[in-house]
Amino acid sequence: MKMVWILALFGLVWGGVSQAGPVSYSVDGQAFEGFYLGSNKQAPLVLLVHDWDGLTDYEVKRAEMLAALGYSVFAVDLFGAGVRPTEMEERKRLTGALYQDRPRMRTLLMAALTEAGRLGGRLDNVVALGYCFGGAAVLELARSGADLKGVVSVHGGLATPPGQDYKQTKASLLIQHGSADQAVSLTEFATLIGELEAAGVTHEATSYSGAPHAFSVFGGANYRADADGKSWQRFTAFLGEVSKG
């Protein structure tokens, strides 16, 4: 993965990007390593949150795709520097710890936003994007009342924790879900829509026919090019709509 980051760094620097590459930062004494691509000081910022396997080549690739469209991107690390789990039990342990400690999840997300701002990202024009576990994380950020233009969950966890709601949400939401997802049910999808409607949150929710969980993960067993293409097209259009100005 380090080699991919190095290649991304050289390719994007020569392409005119002002900053690019791995970024070390700390939160409450713990070391983290994100990935930043900065096109210019005026570009809208995308805060990108990883799946349950941590910040990997997948998020770097998505960051590159967004940078090519003119956005600044900070790919967040929620697990810690060097922590990129490959075993399912370790993935469950790491995500479970954050699901059980929502204040910690929010602290890590807000710290990543602060770091993105230090690097030159526009904190007044941010869209948060998350995949799978990251999709659940960005919804947590939305419920916190963070000052965001948009929040996008792609095949993410959709259940609202007990005692939480969307009354403080400031962002517009885009929810992208596979109708054949066996990890997150259509009932949860419908329930979330109802919660957003009740809270008066501007939202758009789409289910992609036949798409399973993790339908956007390149090379994965569940990858569906048709659903991925449609979701990316709508996401980039939504990004342009909410980040104007």
**pLDDT, tens digit (0-9, with 9 covering 90-100), for 171-214:** 999 999 999 999 999 999 999 999 999 999 999 999 999 999 99
- Asked if residue 13 has pLDDT above 90, the reply is no
Q: How far is CA 218 from CA 5, 141, 197, 215, 221, in A?
A: 17, 26, 33, 8, 9
CB 155 within 8 A of CB 132: yes
Per-residue pLDDT of 126-154, as tens digits, reads 999 999 999 999 999 999 999 999 999 99
CA torsion, ordered 155, 160, 161, 166, to nearest 10 deg: 130
Q: What is the mean pLDDT of residues 48-67?
A: 97
3-state secondary structure of 147: coil
Using CA atoms, how far apart are residues 43 and 67, in angstroms rounded to an integer?
Answer: 10
Q: Model's pTM, two decimal places? A: 0.92
Count structural domains, the chain: 1
Q: How far, CA to CA in Å, does 47 sit from each of 38, 59, 171, 195?
A: 12, 11, 13, 24
Q: Residue range 31-46: average pLDDT?
A: 92
Quote the domain boundaries for residue 97: 2-242
**Does pLDDT of 83 surpass 60?**
yes
Whether residue 12 is predicted with pLDDT greater than 80 in this model: the reply is no
Band of pLDDT at residue 125, cut at 50, 70 and 90: very high
Query: Residue 190: which CATH number?
Result: 3.40.50.1820
